[in-house]
Amino acid sequence: MRLLLVEDEEGFAEALCASLKMEHYITDWAKNGEEGLSQGLSNIYDAIILDIMLPGLNGLTVLQKLREQGIHTPVLLLTAKSGLDDKITGLDLGADDYLTKPFHREELYARLRALTRRHSTTSLQELSCGDLYMIQGSNELCCKTNGSHLPLNGKEYQLMEYLLRNAGQIISREQIIEKIWGYDTNTEYNNVEVYISFLRKKLLYLKSEVSIQTIRKLGYMLKKT
Ligand code: CA
């Protein structure tokens, strides 16, 4: 799961990112509304934690612009204690939930679990395409047709999860780098190619009808062949 935290208070944000890491979330931090908006528009996040009180573009404006651009990533707003109007406006603008500062970390985790669960389309959190499927949280890639299965390592798993969630759609190498390695990275395009080739070998071994196709100059697409 990859999260975006939009929050200008540095100490608070750093502590939050650190504790989210302990909960196995990968969190990107945007320090202001403008950064939050541009990162949110990449549409690579499983949820966005969005503080309302931000310098420049405030959280409500960021939320409004994201929704206007067709970004439906679940948004959890962080509001001040006195901000009843903000909460109402936020929910009207398409926020999925809100949390009043200060809050207990456990409550944040519970709300994030609920948000990401609600957003996922299948009850068992099984991601599939054609005869290929993976159960979220397990690290096994399986083929329904012949019952074969293989373990995936961390990055392979994240990449396969991303491909499965966007099966039938083109995903660019830039999106893959942002999603799997994050913004602050020196990852080169050939890293993506290396992991794509690992996954292709595994798909061949599984004898799945699904493959990762290269779409010239645009990226990759997972689809039935
Ligand atoms: Ca703030």
The mean per-residue pLDDT over the stretch 138-166 comes to: 88
**Measured in angstroms, how far is the CA atom of residue 120 from the centroid of ligand 1?**
29
Residues contacting 173, CB < 8 A, separation 6+: 189, 192, 219, 220
State in Å: Cα 54 to ligand 1 middle. Answer: 5
Cα 45 to Cα 30: distance, rounded to the nearest angstrom: 13
Residue 51 neighbours by CB under 8 Å, 6+ apart: 6, 7, 8, 9, 59, 77, 78
Cβ atoms of 35 and 179 within 8 Å: the answer is no
Residue 164 CA to ligand 1 center (angstroms) comes to: 35
Q: Which of 91, 45, 83, 63 is nearest to 183 (CA)?
A: 45
In total, the chain counts a number of residues equal to: 225
Spacing, Cα 106 to ligand 1 middle (Å): 20
* pLDDT score, position 184: 63
Q: Are the C-beta atoms of residues 32 and 55 closer than 8 Å to each other?
A: yes
To the question of pTM greater than 0.85 for the whole model, the response is: no
Report CA(94)–ligand 1 centroid distance (Å). 20
213 within 8 A of 167, measured Cβ to Cβ: no
- Residue environment code for 86-98, b if the CB has 16+ CB neighbours within 10 A, otherwise e: bbebbeebebbbb
Please identify every residue whose CB atom is under 5 Å from ligand 1, which is an ion.
Answer: 8, 51, 53
Cα(195) to ligand 1 centroid in Å equals 38
Cα 52 to ligand 1 centre (Å): 7
CA distances from 62 to 2, 7, 88, 96, 224 (A): 19, 12, 16, 14, 37
pLDDT at position 220:
97
Considering Cα of 60, then 1, then 161, then 189, what sign does the dihedral take?
positive
**128: closest CA among 136, 117, 119?**
136
Q: Does 10 have pLDDT greater than 70? A: yes
Cβ(53)–Cβ(80) below 8 Å: yes
Residue 78 is predicted with a pLDDT of 95
Give residue 124's pLDDT band: very low, low, confident or very high (50, 70, 90).
very low
pLDDT in tens, 194-212: 999 999 999 999 999 999 9
- The pair of structure tokens assigned to 200 is 């292709």
CA of 95 to the centre of ligand 1 (A): 17
CB 65 within 8 A of CB 56: no
- Mean pLDDT across the stretch 144-159? 88
Tell me the pLDDT tens digit for each residue of 24-58: 888 999 999 999 999 999 888 999 999 999 998 99
Q: Chain centroid to CA 77: how far?
A: 17
CA of 6 to the centre of ligand 1 (A): 8
In 3D, which of 119, 97, 117, 118 has the Cα closest to residue 108? 97
136 pLDDT higher than 80:
no
